[in-house]
Amino acid sequence: MPDLGSLGEVTSADVLVIGGGIAGLSAAITVKERKPALDVLVVEKATAGWAGKAGRGGGILAFLTPDDTPDDFVRYHVHHIGCFLEDQELLLEYARTCNQVLDTLDAWGAKVARDARGNWKYVKTPGTDVPWGLAGVDLDMCQRLRKRAVGMGCRFMNKTALVDLLKDGEAVTGAIGFDVRDGGCRLVLAGVTILATGSQNYRVMPMWSCGRGDGIAAAYRAGACMRNAEFGSFVNMVHAASREVIFGAEDHMFNAAGEDISARYRPGLQPDICAMSAVGWYREHLAGKGPVRVKSDENLLQIGSEVLFSTDLVWDRPAAIAFWSRLWEKAREVEKGEEMPEVIPGFIGEQSPVMVDHRMATTLPGLFAVGDVSYSGAAWTGAVPSPPGRIRGSGLMNAVWSARRGALAAVEYLEDRDRLPEVDHALAADLKKRIYAPASRERGISALQVVREIQAALTPVRYSNWKSEERMREALGLVLEAREKLSSLKAEDPHDLARCNEAESMALCAEMFYRASLLRKESRGWFIREDYPERDDAAWLKWIILREEGGEMTLRTEDVPVERYPFRP
C-alpha cells in the first residue's frame, strides 16, 4: 500500500476532535478525565478557545431551577417547542441530567454566575412562566476550557481545515484537510473521531457566521445519515440599519398602520422567537403594510436602550459586557436612536442535521457528533432548528451535555477496538483531489459569488420560512444552479480554498434543506408551509432521514415511536 505520507503531513491520535469551540473542548476534556493516557488532538480552522459560537453568543444556560421538574420540562417541550417530534426518551434524560452542565463548567474554570448565597443566579424569561430558568456564564468560557484542556495534555492543531473524513471500510478513521495558511495537506489518523463543527449558518449574519457546515457536509459525503434537515431556517429579527439582533423584538412588532402584528401572528408571550414572527413580517409587507417597526419601550428584554442580558443588572459577566457593549456601541452609530426602529428578518439558518443516537454516535462506526452539528439530528429537540431553537440558552447546555455523552461513548468505542486505525489510501487520494480542485484551476469563479447565490435561495422569507411547493422548487432550482458552478470554483490562496470548500458545504446543506422540506407536507414547530398550514399527526409524526447513496441524495421517513412515549398528540 502506498505511504499516506505521499499525500501530506500525517499525524496520529487516539481521539480526534474536529472543532475547537465549546463542544469540542468539552469533549476533549471529558476524554482526558475518563482516560488520561489517551492522546487527544483538537483540530480547529481558526484558534481553539476563540472559535465557535459560544464566545459570541448569549452566554446563557437554560436549566431546571429548584421549582422545575423534568416531567414539567418534557411536557412543556413536547407541547410548545418540538411539537411531538422529539425523541422523548432522550429528552427526558436531558431534562434529568442537564443541570450537571453548570457544575461541570464551573469545575472546568468557566465563570457561571452565582447569587449571594452561592446558588446559580438565574432569571425566568421575562413575562413567561416556563419550566426552566436562565443562568449566565461569561463569554470567555472557551478560553478557560482551552486552558483546562492544555493542562490535561490535550494537543491542538490550529489554522487547519479538516473537510473530509478518512475511512477504513465503513469505519471513520480520521480526517483530511489543509493548513489555511500555507495550504499544506494534513491527514489525521485516529481511533475515533468526534465532530464538533457547529451548525450551518450560510455566513449571512456576520456575528453568527462561524458555522459553515463543513462537518455536516463531511459526514454526509462519508455516508452518514442526516435527520431533521428541514428545520434549518432559523431567523431573528434585526435592526434594519445595523442588522444587529433586537432581542425580544418579535413580541412588539407593529405595521405601518400601527396595528400590533405580534398579537396577530404570535399570541401570548413565548419563550423565544418563532418562525411566525418572520412569516407575519412578510405577510404584512405583502399586504402593503410595511415597514414593520418595534416599540422598544415595551420590550421586556431591554431596559432603555440596553439589552437585559448584556448588563450587570442580571449577571456580573465582565467579558460578555465588554463584548456586547463594543458591538452595540458601533451599531448605534447607524441606528440613530429611533424610538420605533424598523426590523427585518435576519436569516441565521442553524441547520444541524447529523443524526446521532442516545450516545451521540452517528450512523458511521468511529464517528460521534456533538454540540450544534447534531442538535436537530439528535432529535430530543423536536421540530426546531439548532440553538436557540425555541429555548434561549439551550445551545450551550446541549453543547456540553452532548459532548460529555459523546466523549464517554467514544472512549468505550476505542476500548472495544483491537487494532490500530487504517485508512483506505485510494479514498484519501480521491478526497485530496476533490478538496484541492479549486486550487488547481487556472481560472474560474469566486467562492463568494457562489455563496451569495446560495444565500439568495435561502434568505427570502417566501422561500425558507413561508414555504410552499412552488416557491421551494424555485429556491431548490437556484441552489442546484449554484451547485453546478462548484466545479468552476477558483481558489486564489489557501484561505480562499477554505471558502471554496465552505461554498460546497453550503450548497449541500441548502439542497438537504429544500429536499427534506418539500417532502414534509404539513406545518409543525418551526416549519411553516402556506400550502399545508396544519399539523398533520396522522401522516407526519415522522422524521425525515437523508443520506447519500450511489451519488444521489436519498430521503426516507421513520415513524416517531410516539406509542411508547409518555406524551402523545
Binding piece for another protein, criterion CB under 8 A, among 241-249, 251-259, 351-359, 423-431: 241-249
- Interface with another protein, residue 55, by CB under 8 A: yes
Q: Which is nearer to another protein, 215 or 346 (CB)?
A: 346
Burial 496-513 (b: 16+ CB within 10 A, else e): bbbbbbbbbbbbbbbbbb
Helices (H), ranges, 108-246:
141-151, 214-221
- CA 354-494-351 angle, to 5 degrees, is 20
Q: Which is nearer to another protein, 441 or 462 (CB)?
A: 462
CB of 460 to another protein, least distance (A): 5
Torsion angle in degrees (nearest 10) through CA of 438, 441, 443, 446: 0
CB of 384 to another protein, least distance (A): 21
- Interface with another protein, residue 318, by CB under 8 A: no
Q: Which is nearer to another protein, 6 or 325 (CB)?
A: 325
CB of 326 to another protein, least distance (A): 5
Q: Which is nearer to another protein, 67 or 493 (CB)?
A: 493
Site for another protein (CB under 8 A): which residue of 495, 521, 556, 568?
495
- Interface with another protein, residue 282, by CB under 8 A: yes
C-alpha closest to that of 462 among 282, 212, 288, 336: 282
- Interface with another protein, residue 344, by CB under 8 A: yes
Site for another protein (CB under 8 A): which residue of 330, 521, 556, 568?
330
- Interface with another protein, residue 79, by CB under 8 A: no
Binding piece for another protein, criterion CB under 8 A, among 307-315, 394-402, 416-424, 459-467: 459-467
Contacts of 473 (CB under 8 A, 6+ apart): 518
- Interface with another protein, residue 49, by CB under 8 A: yes
Burial of 35 from C-beta contacts in 10 A (0-12 / 13-18 / 19+): middle
Number of residues that bind another protein (CB under 8 A): 43
- Interface with another protein, residue 287, by CB under 8 A: no
Q: Which three cell numbers stand for residue 82?
A: 418540538
- Interface with another protein, residue 50, by CB under 8 A: yes
CA distances for 138 relative to 278, 309, 401, 445, angstroms: 30, 11, 18, 42
Is the CB of residue 311 less than 8 Å from the CB of residue 321? Answer: yes
- Interface with another protein, residue 395, by CB under 8 A: no
Q: Which is nearer to another protein, 242 or 501 (CB)?
A: 242
Q: Which of residues 111-170 bind another protein (CB under 8 A)?
A: 159
CB of 332 to another protein, least distance (A): 11
Cis bond leading into 388, ω under 30°?
Answer: yes
- Interface with another protein, residue 429, by CB under 8 A: no
Site for another protein (CB under 8 A): which residue of 35, 114, 264, 285?
285
CB of 566 to another protein, least distance (A): 40
- Interface with another protein, residue 181, by CB under 8 A: yes
Query: What DSSP string runs through 456-504?
Result: HTTSSHHHHTSB-HHHHHHHHHHHHHHHHGGGGB--SSHHHHHHHHHHH
Binding piece for another protein, criterion CB under 8 A, among 165-173, 324-332, 364-372, 522-530: 324-332
Q: Is 215 helix (H, G, I), strand (E, B) or coil?
A: helix
Pairing outcome for strands 9-18 and 122-123: unpaired
Binding piece for another protein, criterion CB under 8 A, among 78-86, 111-119, 339-347, 525-533: 339-347
Residue type, 412: E
The cell 466523549 sits on which residue?
Answer: 407
* Type and span of the H or E element at 101: helix 100-107
Query: What DSSP string runs through 532-559?
Result: S-S--HHHH-EEEEEEEETTEEEEEEEE
Encoded one letter per residue, x for contact with another protein by CB under 8 A and - for no contact, window 197-236 reads -------x-xx-xx--------------------------
Burial 104-116 (b: 16+ CB within 10 A, else e): bbeebebbbbbee
The cell 406545518 sits on which residue?
Answer: 523
CB of 46 to another protein, least distance (A): 4
Q: Which is nearer to another protein, 322 or 562 (CB)?
A: 322
Q: Which residues bind another protein (CB under 8 A)?
A: 45-47, 49-52, 55-56, 159, 180-181, 204, 206-207, 209-210, 241-243, 282, 285, 322-323, 326-327, 330-331, 334, 344-347, 448, 455-456, 459-462, 495, 498-499
